[in-house]
Amino acid sequence: METKKDNLPVIIQPNAVTNARYDYSQQQKDFMYHFIEKMNMHMTKDFMLVKDLFGNIVIEMDLKEIVKSDNYTPMLEAIRELQKKPISYKFKKQNETYEVNTTLIATLVHKKGSGKIFIKTTEESLPVISYIGSGFTAFNKSIALSLPSFYAKRIYELCCRWKDKGFYRTSLAEFRKMMMIEDKFKNNADLERNVLRLSEKYLTEMADLTFTYTFRKENGSKAFNWLEFNIITRTGEKTTDKGVWYSSLYNILYTVYRDSRAMLITDLIATNDELKRAAERFKRLYKDINNGVIKPHGILAYVNRVLADEYEIPMELLTAPEERSKKRKEAAKQAAAMAKIEAAARKKNEEARVNEEMMDDIFGYLKKPAAEDNRRTGKAQRLGDVIRGK
């Protein structure tokens, strides 16, 4: 679906595609933008979806809308290569997570002597290409096509997705997977030189937004294991206030916690619509820390108290991840011990009940004769009375 905003063409791309893993060339990525645009049209009432005799969906495209020259051969080769390249994504259904590995194109038919091509899609690729119910990314089609690097295109999509937040963070391992570079640029210097700095340069020069990035060490790691992006709009408009507040609050909290608590707490405050108040409150607090009003050894306790009292952040969330893990293990251990004690008590009560029933069975006959003797005695006494005339 192509919309118009300030006369700029916008592509609506499902977040499943934005986050999917695929290893495409720049040319293949350009084709994918056009293909998604065609699939978006499938969602409108004005577009009649074409199917073949077997019910497979067929997308008709015109290469002259994709290729700037009259030479279609390189693009056709790129599309043919797409048939061999996998696309991987995850989805959840009934609390179960599934990972799908498929291809974008099942069949490519080129009408000789023309730029017309007919693409038959794989059934598994349709949900991720056309379904935006679980969220979508809107980005400028012209800018995406103009970026000369696959990595710049992908980072541009991610920045567009998180533009409203003004902030995006991911583990380095996940970022490498998303960019399909697990076996490339293995040290951070190579990653910066070939992916991050180059993409930042291209977006700054050519896109409607750009980014800065920071490597982080989290959860006790001695090496950098997280990557943060600060997203900056470049169209003359300021980054959304919400994005500024979010980034400001997160950065302050991160200086205190140095782990995942900063993100968890910021997200919770954002959910409660308290970002502005919290960002302003912690800016003042940060000044007090820098001015020495709050002593270093008391910072953590003070921040925890402010978050708990003023923003109702659960104490469990304020606990360090390793402490939470330790407490969960201890709680699980205590629960297991309690369950064991309760099971033993139930077993003991059951044994006592069985023993009581056995005793009743064993000694019950001693009670019955006594009752019968009483009855016989009663009868004998009555008969004696009769004989004696009583």
Distance (Å, whole) CA 158 – CA 141 = 14
pLDDT, residue 48, reads 56
pLDDT at 44 over 70: no
Q: What per-residue confidence (pLDDT) applies to 310?
A: 92
Residue 39: Cβ within 10 Å count: 24
93/28 Cα distance (integer angstroms): 30
| Token duo for residue 233 | 């709009």
Q: Which of 323, 321, 325 is nearest to 219 (CA)?
A: 321
Lowest mean per-residue pLDDT among 15-24, 202-211, 217-226, 316-325: 15-24
Q: Cβ neighbours of residue 205 under 8 Å, at least 6 residues apart?
A: none
3-class SS of residue 258: coil
Strand partners, 4: 9
What letter would DSSP give residue 240?
P
CB contact at 8 A, 214 and 133: no
Mean per-residue pLDDT, 50-75: 79
In this predicted model, what pLDDT tens digit does every residue of 334-351 receive, in sequence order?
Answer: 888 888 888 888 888 888
Indicate whether 282 pLDDT > 60.
Answer: yes
Give the list of residues 6+ apart from residue 226 with CB closer than 8 angstroms, or none: 169, 170, 171, 172, 215, 216, 217, 218
Confidence band, pLDDT 50/70/90 cuts, at residue 3? very low
> pLDDT band for position 18 (50/70/90)?
low
Residue type at 154? R
Q: Give me the pLDDT at residue 8, please.
A: 47
Share of the chain above pLDDT 70, in %: 73
Whether 78 has a pLDDT exceeding 50, the answer reads yes
CB-based burial label for 209 (10 Å; 0-12, 13-18, 19+): buried
pLDDT at residue 190, rounded to an integer? 94
Q: Are 205 and 219 in contact (CB under 8 A)?
A: no
Question: Residue ranges of the domains in the chain?
Answer: 1-146
d(CA 80, CA 149): 20
Mark residue 151 as left, alpha or beta (left: phi above 0; alpha: psi -120 to 50; beta: remaining).
alpha
In this predicted structure, the answer to whether residue 211 has a pLDDT above a threshold of 70 is: yes
**pLDDT, position 361:** 67
Contact indicator for 290, 256 with CB cutoff of 8 Å: no
Residue 165 CA, chain-centre distance (Å), reads 16
Q: Which pTM value belongs to this model? A: 0.50
* pLDDT value, residue 155: 92
pLDDT: which is higher, 92 or 262? 262
Which pLDDT band, with edges at 50, 70 and 90, does 196 fall under?
very high
Q: Once rounded to an integer, what is the mean pLDDT over residues 183-187?
A: 88
The answer to whether the CB of 228 falls within 8 A of the CB of 169 is yes
Name the architecture of domain 1-146: Orthogonal Bundle (1.10)
* Structure tokens given for 262: 């900063």
CA contacts within 13 A on the Cβ side of 209:
28
pLDDT of residue 371: 47
Euclidean distance between CA atoms 257 and 264, whole angstroms:
11
What does the DSSP 8-state code read for residue 238? P
**Average per-residue pLDDT in the chain?**
77
> Cα-flanking dihedrals φ and ψ of residue 226, to 5°?
-135, 155
The 10s digit of each residue's pLDDT in 140-160 is 877 888 888 889 998 998 888
Residue 237: the pLDDT is 46
Q: Is 332's pLDDT higher than 50? A: yes
338-362 burial, b at 16+ Cβ within 10 Å, e below that, comes to: eeeeeeeeeeeeeeeeeeeeeeeee
pLDDT at 226 over 70: yes
Q: Residue 185 pLDDT more than 80?
A: yes
125 sits in which H/E element: helix 125-130
Q: Are residues 118 and 59 in contact, defined by beta-carbon separation less than 8 angstroms?
A: yes
**If residue 3 lies in a helix (H) or strand (E), which one and from where to where?**
strand 2-5
Q: How far apart are CA 197 and CA 189, in angstroms?
A: 10
Segment 252-268 shows an average pLDDT of 82
